[in-house]
Chains A and B, each alone.
Chain A
Amino acid sequence: MFRRLPEIETATAAQAVSFTIDGRPASARAGDSVTAALLANGVTACRTTAVSGAARGPYCMMGVCYDCLVTIDGTGNRQGCQVRVAPGMAVETQNGKREVER
């Protein structure tokens, strides 16, 4: 669970980015990674694993753990912590193995 520092919360309004999480409208700050945007919107688990189906969320925030994988604009297995959130972006939590067509 994470929250925005109050002074940044106010500043964020001016730089808000609208995007969707599993189809639901959400808002983040320009400059947020997709993973930070998910956490700011109360999403702690972003996927279930391809091996056992266990729930996972981000761990390292620096691109080395590969636990923050989400589907972004239809492409699966993207590291959310390495991609900046953009207006209109469709972010989806992903379950299990990637589909070969996504």
Chain B
Amino acid sequence: MTQPSRGGEYDVAVIGGGLVGSALAWGLARAGQKVAMLDEGDIAVRPSRGNFALVWVQGKGLGMPEYAGWTKKSSDDWSGFADLLREQTGLDVAYRRPGGFMPMLSEEDLQARANTMMRLHNQPDMIRYPYEVMDRETLRKELPFIGPDVVGGTYCPLDGHCNSLRLLRTLHKGIGLLGVDYRPNHRVERIEHRDGGFRMTTAGGEVRAGKIVLAAGHDSARLAPMVGLSAPVRPQRGHVIVTEKTAPFLHHPTVYVRQTDEGGVMIGDSFEEAGFDTTLQPGVSSAIAERAIRFFPLLGKLNVVRSWAALRVLTPDGFPIYEESKTAPGAFVATCHSGVTLAANHALTLAPLIAAGGLGDSFAPFSAGRFHVPQAA
């Protein structure tokens, strides 16, 4: 059922209402732009609902030190971002930065991880930040419930987590308060660059805007070539398990197990190439469960209340794409698979740059040109 498009041009149309799109829309509106956020309906792929809610720094950026710097910046800005959201909406996204762990189940794995971290930090132009490789005894002081199989792990004081579903809800409330026009059931079918702006044909009617930002998750791949951009993203499935609410016992997030502010324990994850199929695989869930119990044996008694399989939005190298179109200036693409960690950057750094007119040279490493994919005419 289509509704007539409300008249008038927008300064910016953000295509996609997930974590990336809504953080950008929020930042753009704060920068004074008149914004429309176009979204799909109630049943959609929605990778933003599938994340693990980590605001994570350690280990990122091997192969692209700029990404490590970008990540650390977002992590450093996250606390201020959470405060702004709380002041504006009254909602607390429960951001905590107690430091995070990646525990290991064999000496071999621990050594491999230590080597990776070393190589990461030895990269030229790599940003410096503290981290530790801990043996079992040191780890046990921080994580007393750790199981007998855990030999040690890596720790970084910059790592943290938040309530990511509340983040999405808070951003939606915030953009409403900022006067953003949120349009669900407006899947974009076609974009044309004309008359110095952009005309979008959507399921809910036509929308026109001076600038557009593609933040449509997997659908950015389809939309990008329409405006001279490239977003070669693919889905990658990951399973997550959540337990019943439990009294707080795990105060630090770990890569595979974290306890939410509401008490449930979230457990992940897996990496499967399965196209867009999100059918649950009991064997994968089982392997995830088994590993979690090796990390924290007392999790075994808890009841699993929900499990799901979600689809990451992955570029070929796993690093984000941020780019403005050369053939259709004013069209931007923003895609990443760490929409929670990078939310602060998207809202407080990227959005104002887009509002002011352009990304600048520092974003060159994030261009899709790095994949040598020819741009669409």
Contacts and interface: CB of A to CB of B under 8 A. Distances in A.
Interface string B219-247: 00000000000000000000000001111
A54 interface: no
B303 A100 contact: no
A48 interface: no
Interface in B246-263: 246-247, 249, 262-263
Interface in A58-102: 75, 77, 96-101
Interface of A: 50-51, 75, 77, 96-101
A96 B244 CA distance: 12
A99 B246 contact: yes
Contact of A96 (B247, B299, B301, B302): B247
B245 A100 contact: no
Nearest to B265: A100
B303 A97 contact: no
Interface in B85-141: none
B301 A99 contact: no
B298 interface: yes
B249 A100 contact: yes
Task: From B299, B301, B302, name the one whose CB has the most chain A CB atoms within 10 angstroms.
Answer: B301
Size band of the interface chain B makes with A: 10 to 19
B197 to A, nearest CB: 47
Interface string B295-308: 00011011100000
A90 B145 CA distance: 27
B299 A97 contact: no
B244 A100 contact: no
B320 to A, nearest CB: 36
A99 B247 contact: yes
A100 B249 CA distance: 7
Interface in B270-329: 298-299, 301-303
A70 B261 CA distance: 23
Contacts of A75: 301
A26 to B, nearest CB: 25
CB-based closest 3 A-B pairs: A50-B245, A97-B247, A100-B249
22 contacts: A50-B245, A50-B263, A51-B245, A51-B262, A75-B301, A77-B244, A96-B247, A97-B245, A97-B246, A97-B247, A97-B263, A98-B244, A98-B246, A98-B247, A98-B302, A99-B247, A100-B145, A100-B246, A100-B299, A100-B301, A100-B302, A101-B298
B236 to A, nearest CB: 31
A96 B262 CA distance: 11
A68 B303 CA distance: 15
A98 B259 CA distance: 13
Nearest to B250: A100
A77 B246 CA distance: 10
Contact of A77 (B145, B249, B303): B303
A97 to B, nearest CB: 4
B336 to A, nearest CB: 33
Contacts of A101: 298
Nearest to A96: B247
B363 to A, nearest CB: 43
A27 B264 CA distance: 35
B158 to A, nearest CB: 27
A79 B163 CA distance: 28
A77 B262 CA distance: 16
Contacts of B298: 100-101
Nearest to A99: B247
Given A98-B245, A99-B247, 12 more contacts: A50-B244, A50-B263, A51-B245, A77-B244, A96-B247, A97-B245, A97-B263, A98-B246, A100-B145, A100-B249, A100-B298, A101-B298
Contacts of B303: 77
Contacts of B299: 100
Contacts of B263: 50, 97
